[in-house]
Amino acid sequence: MEQATAETYASRLTRVSSYIHDHLDEELSLDVLAGIACLSPYHWHRIYHAHFGETVAATVRRLRLQRAAAHLAHTSMPITKVAERAGYDSQASFTRAFSAAFGLPPATYREVGSHSVFKAPTHQGVLTMYDVGIDTISPKTLIAVDHRGPYMNIGKSFDLLFTTLAQRGLIRPDLPMVGVYLDDPTSVPEDELRSKACVAVNEPVTVDAPLVSTQVRGGDHAVLKYKGPYGDMHAAYSWLYGQWLPSSGREAADAPVFEDYLNSPRDTPPTELRTDIYLPLK
């Protein structure tokens, strides 16, 4: 009975997490999400908060602001439209919320946010601004959930991964979070991008759906130490591939890039997020 109850709640957590990620442009009130979970708003809120460590409203606000930062950094979408898509009735209220999360008002962020250093870099200038080293790593065994679609939406698959691990009694606070990215987003349509939301494990784990087992190859890797919002990260990739790699004297190996997440967006401001980007080398 206890196992059945745990599985029921796990499936409800997964269902609601998926719904939030897939319907950010819709009304996501507690009542709506409680209906998806088939629980009363009062009980659902407590269950969700206890499992994910943040309220439903905080999740929705965080994901919408994260998407807004990407729009500001990489599109010419008017700020009024960005604010509207983020669920704010006025540009003023959006500016207050965005400034609190990212440390800059939207217009300033668009011009001088962390993404802006890549706009017209000088070769030596950017090289000295970012910490890139070459590390030799051991092969890693990862437990993963496959993700298909925009890389910025991989949080949905991480939620499924951790909910499944918790359901099976495999969750630990120190599990290293890793994202493996299989396709080039500049050449593959966004909806067809393949990636994996992973944790690294040191002991054998029985793997069945939705979990899969995968490996990260050992050997030399270029490691770019990135700090800042996830929405700005693709510019760092452009610099890593376009400037650092050609000048490094090394070649990329036939293996996917992966990211090692050193803290969590659930309890860390976007500007303080730290990610190590691993580029495999021949």
- The segment(s) of the chain belonging to CATH 1.10.10.60 are 2-111
| Superfamily (CATH) of domain 2-111 | Homeodomain-like (1.10.10.60)
User: How many angstroms separate the CA atoms of 93 and 189, rounded?
Assistant: 34
DSSP per residue over 92-138, as a string? Answer: HHHHHHHHHHHSS-HHHHHHHSGGGGGSS--HHHHHHHS-EEEEEE-
Q: Count Cβ atoms below 10 Å from residue 227 Cβ, excluding itself.
A: 15
Per the structure block, which two tokens stand in for 87?
């669920």
CATH assignment, 132-280: 3.20.80.10
The answer to whether 279 and 249 have CB atoms below 8 angstroms apart is no
As to burial, measured by CB atoms within 10 angstroms (0-12 exposed, 13-18 middle, 19+ buried), residue 175 is: middle
Query: Where does the chain hold its CATH 3.20.80.10 domain(s)?
Result: 132-280
Q: Which residue has the tokens 């976007």?
A: 270
Q: Tens-of-pLDDT digits for all 282 residues of the chain? A: 344 355 577 778 888 888 999 999 988 887 888 888 887 766 777 778 888 888 888 899 999 999 999 899 888 999 999 999 999 999 999 999 999 998 889 999 888 765 544 444 444 444 445 789 999 999 989 999 999 999 989 999 999 999 998 888 887 777 899 999 999 887 889 999 999 999 988 777 778 889 999 999 999 999 999 999 988 887 788 888 878 888 889 899 999 999 999 999 989 999 899 999 999 999
β-pairing, 132-137 vs 219-227, is antiparallel
